[in-house]
Amino acid sequence: MSGLKIAVIGGGSSYTPELIDGFIKRATELPVDEIQLVDIPEGQHKLDIVAGLARRMVVEAGLSTVISATMDRRAALTGADFVVTQFRVGGLAARARDERFPLKYNVLGQETTGPGGFAKALRTIPVILDICRDISELCPDAWLINFTNPAGLITEAIYKYTKVKCLGLCNVPIHLRMTIAKMLDAKADDIFIDFAGLNHLVWGRKVYHKGVDVTAAVLEKMQDGAALTMKNIPDLKWDGDFLHSLGMVPCPYHRYYYMTDSLLAEEQAAAAKGGAGTRAEIVQAVEENLFKLYQNPDLNEKPAELEKRGGAYYSDAAVSLISAIYNDKREIHTVNTLNQGAISGLLANCVIETNCIIGKNGATPLTLGVLPPEIAGLIQQVKAYEILAVEAGVHGDRNKALQALANNPLVPSVGVAKQLLADLLSLNADYLPQFKDC
C-alpha cells in the first residue's frame, strides 16, 4: 500500500514541529510518504526554516518521509489524503490589532472570543472557502483537519458552504485531560472527561478515573488553587463557591465569560504604555526566539521552548485523530463536528465540540441530550453569535455582522457593537474582500 500525502496549509507556523513530532511518534501506524508544507510568499523565510528543522527531525527518526516546502497550494493539495489547516490571515500583527481595538470601548480583546475573534473569523472565512474549493477539485476524498481559529466557527462555515469532509480540532480538551491527570497523579489514558459545549466554550460535565467519577475531587483541587489554564490565558484562580455551585469543570477560556471584569483590567494594564503588551505582542518575541532555535543546524527535535507558544499537545490531538480516521479505530476523540441532535435545543447543522466516535467515516457524536441551565444559556447565546458570524463572513453582510456582535455576550450594548464593527471593518479592510461595498 502506498503511503500517505499530507498537506499542511500554514506550514511555516511555529507549531509545525509539533505536528512533525506527532507523525514521527506514530510512524508505525501512519505510513506517511510525503508532507507538503504550504505557505504564502510573505511567509517564505519562516517556511524555509521550519522545513529545514522538519527534515532534520525525520532523518534523526530514521524515516524516509519527504518534507517539501512550497508556495504552490494547488500542487500540494493534488492527491493529498489529509489536509491540515493552521494559518493566521494577517499574521500576528493582525492578532495584535484584534486584541487592542476593543479595549478603548472597555471590551475584552482576544484572538478567538469577542470582537477580536469575530475579526479573525471574518478574515479567515474567505480564505478557508477558497482552500475548500481547491480540495473539492484536487483531492475530493481527503479529510480536512482544521486547527485554524476560531476553530468551531470556521468548521461551521466549511460544513455549511462546502462538501469537504472536515473535522475541527482544538488542543483545549486534550490539555484539560493531561492537566487533570497530573493534578490527580494519574495516567492520562486512565482519565475520561464527558465534554459538552462549543469550541473554547466546552465544559467537562464529569471526570472519570478508571471509570470512577472523580469530578468532586478535581473541583476541590481547583478550589484550593490548582492550576487549570493554558500558556495564552492568565491564570486567574477560580472562585470556590462558583465552582461548587457549577459542579462541572470549566475550560480555561471560560475566564473570559466568568471573570470578564478582572481579565479586562489585566488586558488594559498590559496594553498600556509601559505594560507587558498584549498576548500577540508577547508571542511575537517568543516566536522570534523559536525561529532562532529552529535555524540551529544541530537541532533535530522539537524544542522544549515550543510549549511557551501555547500549542502543548497539538501533535497528540492532530495526529492521533488522523490515525483514528485512517485506521478506522472507532475510538473516542473530542472534536468539532455537526451537532446532529447530540445536544437538544441546538440546530442539527450547527457545529459543537464534544466527544465523538472516530473512524474512517468521520465523527459520530455521543448523545448529550438536554444540557443543564447552568451552561445551556451561554451556549445558546454564543452559538447564535457564531451562526450570524458565519453568514456575515461568507456574504459580507453588514447587518448580520452587527447582529453577531450584538449577540456576543462580551459586547455590552448595540451602541458599542456599532462602534466595534466600524473599527473592525476599517482596520481589516485589506483582508475583507466580501465587505468591499461597505
CB 155 within 8 A of CB 351: yes
**Phi and psi of 396, rounded to 5°?**
65, 40
Cell of 258: 466568568
pTM: 0.95
**Residues with pLDDT less than 50, the chain:** 1
Enzyme catalytic residues: 253
Architecture of domain 4-168 in CATH? Answer: 3-Layer(aba) Sandwich (3.40)
pLDDT of the residue at 236: 78
pLDDT tens string 220-260: 998 876 666 655 566 778 999 999 999 999 999 999 999 99
pLDDT of the residue at 437: 76
CB 378 within 8 A of CB 388: no
Short-list 372, 378, 352, 382, CA closest to 364: 352
pLDDT of the residue at 235: 72
CB 179 within 8 A of CB 312: no
Alpha-carbon distances of 319 from 27, 194, 324, rounded to whole Å: 10, 22, 9
pLDDT of the residue at 230: 55
SS3 content of the chain, % helix, strand, coil (to 5): 50, 15, 30
pLDDT of the residue at 111: 93
pLDDT of the residue at 276: 84
H or E element at residue 431: none
